[in-house]
Amino acid sequence: MQVIEARRIRVAVAGASGYAGGEVLRLAVGHPNLEIGALTAHANAGARLGGVHPHLRTLANRVLEPTTPEVLAGHDVVVLALPHGASGEIAAQLPDDVLVLDLGADHRLIDPEAWQQFYGSEWMGVWPYGMPELICSTSHAVRRGRDLLVGVKRIAVPGCNVTAVTLGLQPGIAEGVIEQSDLVAVLVNGYSGAGKGLKAHLLAAEGLGAAAPYAVGGTHRHIPEITQNLQIAAGADAEPVTISFTPTLVPMSRGILATATGRLTRYWLDRLAADTSPGQADTRAAIRQVWCDAYADELFVQVLPEGQWPSTAMTLGANTALIQVVVDTAAGRIVTVTAIDNLVKGTAGAAIQSLNIALGLPETTGLTTEGIAP
């Protein structure tokens, strides 16, 4: 670690012309230890970065190179901001001593059958998972996901929807507050999560003034990743996790607001039923405290004060997940609402946070909890 800390860390970004790659670059420019090396693209190879990311002024004159292992070689870190299914082949040709962070899904899933079902291509194996705050109940030796990232050379960065839902529900799953077989999540999503591809339903004429669900009925590719995370939080011997997951595009460029609910377990239902009206407040406070305790030491995941609800605007530009949790007594359910910037905490910020841990840097280096308002 002393060798890396004593010199600048040279980073290459593949897929630099996309939204995720551009956000990695925005954060990397402000990171005191990172030096930006090769920038690559596919269709935009040969163009200047300023033509596709005009907001990145200090890098505007950099020319995008083709995405090949030869161009990416010779760096300390390689970030793969490539479409799903495109990272595995490139990563397999990179040296073992290079830290590679995959922002796509190629190395997230443990189960090859789940990968085949939802992605339909060859499974490329699983890498250490880049969610430092993930609660790990499957191992007595590992408390949080960050414990698995120290010193590694391969990291699979989580999906953005996955991050919002996992952070909202995992404390209740890990502590037996909610039933893992009765989970529901409905999300509103900014259009940047769909990437830069030219598709009719992503045009302003179609999207402005409209909210549109997509991948409804258990078809969204993030579902197996969500259930995988929550199963890790529940423990190896827990009953299988199932979730109904429905994302909705709304006319904003960034952000995810995830409303995720779960039915209270019998123990907590009985406590609520046995309480008098004043006593219910105490029980509800005890349930809420589970979330507060889970994130008490997490800088980038914060439970808001009672009565304050998260909004996507509160997290824009920040590596922050803001959470509120309440008990719906009549329905016997927990309701969590989580806001993140899908391009920061949901993607690029998670990559930088995980990079810091892997290289022995302070976890917060180059990242902020301060949002952009109004």
CA distances from 236 to 129, 215, 230 (A): 17, 29, 11
What is the three-class DSSP state of 266?
helix
Strand extents, DSSP E, the chain = 9-14, 34-41, 65-66, 77-80, 99-102, 154-156, 178-189, 212-213, 243-249, 256-264, 301-303, 321-328, 333-340
Instruction: Say which residue the tokens 């890396």 belong to.
Output: 4
Are the CB atoms for 157 and 351 separated by under 8 Å? yes
Alpha helices in the chain, H assignment, sequence order: 2-5, 19-29, 49-52, 69-72, 87-91, 112-119, 160-174, 204-207, 223-234, 266-274, 277-294, 349-358
Asked about 292 being catalytic, the answer comes back as: no
Report the candidate in 297, 315, 334, 204 with the shortest Cα–Cα distance to residue 255.
315
Q: Is 141 exposed, middle or buried (0-12, 13-18, 19+ CB in 10 A)?
A: exposed
Q: Is 20 exposed, middle or buried (0-12, 13-18, 19+ CB in 10 A)?
A: buried
What is the three-class DSSP state of 360?
coil
> Which among 34, 109, 157, 160 is annotated as catalytic?
160
Q: Give the separation between CA 144 and CA 134, rounded to whole angstroms.
A: 5
Token pair of 241, please?
């996790």
User: Rounded to 5, what percent of the chain is helix, strand, coil?
Assistant: 35, 20, 45
Distance from the Cα of residue 151 to its chain's centroid? 21
What residues are labeled active site?
160
